[in-house]
Structure 1
Amino acid sequence: MTQHNTVLVSSNDATPATLAHWKSEEAAVRARLSAPGVASPEQIQGLSGMEIFEAIFRGELPFAPIGETAGIWPIQASHGGFIFQGTPSPAFFNPMGTLHGGWIAMILDSAVGCAVQTTLPATAAYTTAELKISYIRALTPKVERVRAIASVLSAGRQLGFAEARLVDAEGRLYAHASTTCLVMPRR
């Protein structure tokens, strides 16, 4: 399992520092990103999955438009791992005043899928074949930021398996996801 350089703590005293660190990392990433969009086949030709994310983080390729719409941002990519950070917005609250499960599913699906993509060669692409989510606790307006931290469990020529945890700055678990991704030739 890939280790990620992210700050997760459980001490209430450290939470403001962790949250400030998370916000600082997000601001630095957002300053480097180009406009949202979809890369053309010519732009990604010959690039591995990891190389595509390196180019996105350098601002050389666009990042997915859904991220800006949903308030989720790529924070870190490593071979077999990915971190997305999200800001729970009232625009995605359900009638009970908690964050809609679909937003949680989106950030987790993004993290596990991108983690699998980091392991792919330039000749391969993927699609989600299965996504399972366990919701642990409600995500309320009091939570300023969450992180979906994903790791690949196994990456093969035909299938990739990954899992992710959705946590707040105190390390509280809100949801857990696992995925099976179908690996296929890139066109």
Structure 2
Amino acid sequence: MTAPTDTMNPDETLAHWRAEEAAVRARLQSAPGVASPAQLAGRSGLQIFQALLAGEIPPPPMAATLDFTLLCVEPGLAVFQGRPGFSHFNPMGTVHGGWFATMLDSAMGCAVHSALPAGKAYTTLELKLNLVRALTDAVLLVRAEGRLVHGGRQVATAEGRLIGPDGRLYAHASTTCLVFNQAS
């Protein structure tokens, strides 16, 4: 997310996206895993993501299974990048809607989490997904961008978009999350 991609052609954007992802993956721990309670204790949501991106805590196993990664996070914003592949196809030869949903749920949920103080956690209460275009093997990479809309004490909402390097929209979504005290 270091250079504006809106002035690039799709091939330049794709190359830029690949370079950004390579830089992030170089910092990540090699093996996916689950962060220990001690690794999370006392950290805000944003600090947790910063630790993940710095390679201090492992990336979640689901990201390896579905071939996506967190690229960047700021307060109220999370960006994931993924490769829709053959293993994600439905019987009709397009990417299954569950892959879209997982990418967008991850981006929107992390946008919510990035705004939470230490000791708070969240869970998705509702996910609304609109698939507007099929993903096929012709689309090499997509980005899911999640943005916080409202962050309250008990409820938070976010919106997300799944886009290709050419700027095409493949899906958009919204979520409602329950915010609660993290178990100690």
- TM-score bracket for this pair, using the shorter chain length: over 0.9
Q: Deviations over 1:104-148 (max 9, x none)?
A: 100000000000000000010000000000010111110000000
Checking the alignment, whether the CA contact within 8 Å between 1:26 and 1:75 is kept in structure 2 is: yes
Say whether 1:110 aligns with 2:106: yes
- Counterpart residue number, 1:132: 128
Alignment of 1:24-173 (within 5 A): 24-34=19-29, 35-173=31-169
Is the contact made by 1:133 and 1:176 (CA closer than 8 Å) also made in structure 2?
Answer: yes
**1:155 to 1:84, Cα distance in 2 relative to 1, 3 A:** same
Alignment correspondent of 1:186: 182
State the Cα distance separating 1:80 from its structure 2 match: 0.2
Aligned length: 182
Q: CA deviation at 1:43?
A: 1.1
1: distance between equivalents of 2:68 and 2:26?
A: 14
Q: State the 1:9 CA deviation.
A: 3.2
Cα deviation per residue 1:151-181 (whole Å; 9 max; x = unaligned)? 1001011011000000000110000010000
Could you list the structure 1 runs, at least 4 aligned residues long, displaced by more than 6 angstroms after superposition.
Answer: none
Q: Which residue number corresponds to residue 9 of structure 1?
A: 6
Gaps of 5+ in 1: none
Report the Cα offset of residue 53 of structure 1: 0.3
RMSD: 1.3
TM-score (norm 1): 0.94
Aligned partners of 1:32 and 1:58 also within 8 Å? yes
TM-score of the aligned structures, taking structure 2 as reference length:
0.96
- When residues 93 and 7 of structure 1 are mapped into structure 2, their CA distance, relative to the original with a 3 A threshold, is farther
Identity of aligned residues (%): 52
